[in-house]
Structure 1
Amino acid sequence: MKKTYKVGIVGLGVIGQRLISAFQKNSNVQIAAVCDYNEKLAKETAQECGNISYFSDYKSLLKIEEIDFVYVAVPPAIHCEVVMAAFQHNKHVLCEKPLANSEQEAEAMLRAAEEAGLVHAMHFPLVYEKAFATIEEHLQNDMFGKIKRITLKMHFDQWPRPWQQTNWINSRKQGGFIREISPHYLQMIVHFFGSVKEVTSYVDYPSNPELSEHAVIAVLKLEDGMSVLIDGIAGQAEKEEIAFTIHGEKQSLSLLNWRKVKLANRGEEWIEIEDSALITPKGNLVEQFIKRLNNEQAFLIGFDEGLQVQRILEKLIQE
């Protein structure tokens, strides 16, 4: 009989709420407690989860001995503080991206995880989507041929978007679309193509030093010499579009707006691939995390990969 693991959730904003249903659907996970600085939200969420314990201070949640792991979904500037405290209380950690708010914090978090011998993983949702699995298969089968370039387009008519009106998402300290959006794709670049050796970045910041960027143009150089072009802008008259494109000699693939996949053979038009024709992903994050807790083989993105992403992120931001 498999063990049931108890999770404590710290941070109940838009992102934190998304994994609650995933935890509830897994028979080997029980949500034991929730925490948010907004006590009213914490109480409401606790009631929805079956009248479980709730707190406005994460330190109180971490004192619950029966909690096996903590899901950290607070804003990035607080990740390090909460994660380090969780390790000190001998809790495994599942953390939102980006890993930290600086390279130094990310290094300390990875070091603490390794020294404690605890499971550490990050929530990069694209990893468990069909698009990721499809890209992986195309690379393994050399369907692209020689890859000429990778491009990442992040265009927003409004930032923050209407559903993202928080007190931090547009702050220069921890917000902006570079920190919020690009890590999803930087992770794929690192995972599939290896280390980034050089970053050249030009960022357009507003005159108000408290606010996040308006635009970025950047070039990443990979260890094999390949270039990644990043084009990000906010506030232009155009519908939001995020496009991650791998340009190959034989075939190119574009992941549009998170889930739509288009392919183009050499000299041909782009064709959208039906969802049913995409590759089935490797389970889901919660399943894989529980496997790792059971000392089974699991597909997780650890703090080590999170640190690589953080290093690129900090060079991109360059204030």
Structure 2
Amino acid sequence: MAPLSLGIVGFGIMGERLVRTAFPHPEMRLAGVWDPSPEAAARLEAAAPGVPMLADAAAVIAACDALYIAAPPAAHIPLARAALAAGRAVFLEKPLATGLEEAEAFVAEAEAAGARAAVNFPMASSPAVAQLSAWRQAGAVGAPQRLEIVTEFGRWPRGWQSDAAGWLARRAEGGFTREVVSHFLFLTRRQLGPLVLHSARVTYPAGDGAETAIEAELSAGGVPVTLRGGVGRIAEDEANSWTLTGAAGAIRLRNWSLAEKLEPGGEWRQAPDALPNEAMRPMVLRGQVEKLAALTRGTPQSLATLREALEVQQVVETLLRS
């Protein structure tokens, strides 16, 4: 089967990461990229020699079978609408939009049209998450009793995100709750069921800066969930954990990619094939591209749906208004 063509709008951190770690790929070829940044063309040539930097987003849409939208959030839905109208499949970064009303309207119209669209929550293709699911199916947790999510950062944005600090550090579109906590809420939704936010407390700095601390109580499929996160309380760049405890034991995902199980003696033991995030990321993103090819062809896959992404965004935005 001939490979499909992928176009990318937005060649910042996420666009470049996908190109460098997931390509070349047997299911898809890169058709072209567009980014308004003057430096983007040089970075594209270094990452994927020969892939053209096209004139604008419309040219990318015309050249591809599927469009990956890795631009800042305000551009997500306008670009997605244009691509879907042209008959393309769409793969969006999160959040869907900067406002809930716009996101809700878009998801409703996309679902009504049967649009081929999905959102890039990489945990949908994570081997570590697959290990957590296998442990649960084998009875390592039993009936879930509680879940704890912790996300901590030495600074925000993280050092490798400095080029996007102009919007990531601002309250309107950025912040670690949207950028990081949303991934763990997606995982929670997939593992346990619908999310309900019961209470939250958010700390903001003066001005228009993004949040510096959060605390929240939620439930997922009826299971109690505690969430906390903050900036400036650890020395390292970041540390995170997702810990599910049940009647038979506990499992956790630590620092994005380390699946661990609580042993009877009280020690956490990593899965035998556990890898640090830097080593696992190429596997995850190649899996995402494989599933995007399936989405484009109209065959079954397990990427995050628009509805799942909307439910996560609804919780996130309600939390941030608390």
Runs of 4 or more off by more than 4 Å in structure 1? Answer: 280-283
**How much does 1:295 deviate?**
3.2
Offset at residue 245 of structure 1 (A): 0.8
Whether 1:110 and 2:126 are equivalent positions in the alignment is no
The letter of the residue matching 2:171 is R
Q: Tell me if the contact between 1:37 and 1:56 (Cα under 8 Å) persists in the aligned partners.
A: no
Taking the TM superposition and a 5 Å limit, the aligned residue runs for 1:285-304 are: 285-304=288-307
Aligned match of 2:243? 245
Task: Tell me the amino acid that sits aligned with residue 37 of structure 1.
Answer: P
| Maintained 8 Å contact 1:264/1:271 | yes
Secondary structure of the residue that 2:299 maps to in structure 1?
Answer: coil
Q: What SS does structure 2 have at the residue aligned with 1:250?
A: coil
Q: Which runs of 5+ in 2 are unaligned?
A: 276-282
Matches of 1:212 and 1:283, distance apart in 2: 32
Q: Give the whole-Å Cα distance in 2 for the aligned partners of 1:196 and 1:95.
A: 21
More deviation, 35-44/198-207: 35-44
1:8 Cα offset (Å): 1.1
User: Residues 292, 59 of structure 1: CA spacing in aligned structure 2 closer, same or farther, 3 A cutoff?
Assistant: closer
Q: 1:161 aligns with which of 158, 161, 183?
A: 158
The aligned runs of 1:5-154 (5 Å cut-off) are 5-21=4-20, 24-42=23-41, 44-45=43-44, 48-55=47-54, 57-62=56-61, 64=62, 66-154=63-151
Q: What secondary structure, in the 3-state scheme, does the structure 1 residue paired with 2:115 have?
A: coil
Give the SS at the match of 1:53: coil
Aligned partner of 1:172 in structure 2 is 171
Equivalenced residues, count: 312
Shift of 1:46: 5.0
Which one has the bigger helix percentage?
2
Answering whether residue 3 of structure 2 is matched by residue 4 of structure 1, we say: yes
Return closer, same or farther for 1:53/1:115 CA change in 2, 3 Å cut-off. Answer: farther
Q: What is the aligned partner in structure 1 of residue 254 from structure 2? A: 256
RMSD: 2.4
**Bigger shift: 174-183 or 160-169?**
160-169
Shift of 1:249: 2.3
Residue 271 (structure 1) shift: 2.4
Q: Of the candidates 283, 287, 292, which is equivalent to residue 284 of structure 1?
A: 287
TM-score, normalised via structure 1 length: 0.89
SS at match of 1:61: helix
Greater displacement, 17-26 / 227-236: 17-26
Deviations 1:228-252 (A, max 9, x none): 1111110124433111111122211
Secondary structure at the counterpart of residue 191 of structure 1: helix
CA separation of 1:281 and 1:236: change in aligned 2, threshold 3 A: closer
Query: What TM-score, normalized by structure 2, do the two folds share?
Result: 0.88
Within 2, Cα distance between the matches of 1:245 and 1:188? 11
Corresponding residue for 1:272? 270
1:178–1:48: structure 2 CA closer, same or farther, 3 Å change rule?
closer
Deviations 1:246-305 (CA, angstroms, capped at 9, x unpaired)? 11222111211111222114562222333269xx98971111221233333322221111
User: Following the alignment from structure 1 to structure 2, what is the Cα–Cα distance between the partners of residues 276 and 237?
Assistant: 24
Paired amino acid for 2:65? D
Q: Secondary structure at the match of 2:307?
A: helix
CA shift for structure 1 position 132: 0.6
- Equivalent of 2:231 in 219, 234, 242: 234
Closer, same or farther: CA 133–237 of 1 in aligned 2, 3 Å: closer
- The answer as to whether partners of 1:23 and 1:29 remain within 8 angstroms in 2 is no
Residue 11 of structure 1: CA displacement? 0.6
Q: Which runs of 5+ in 1 are unaligned?
A: none
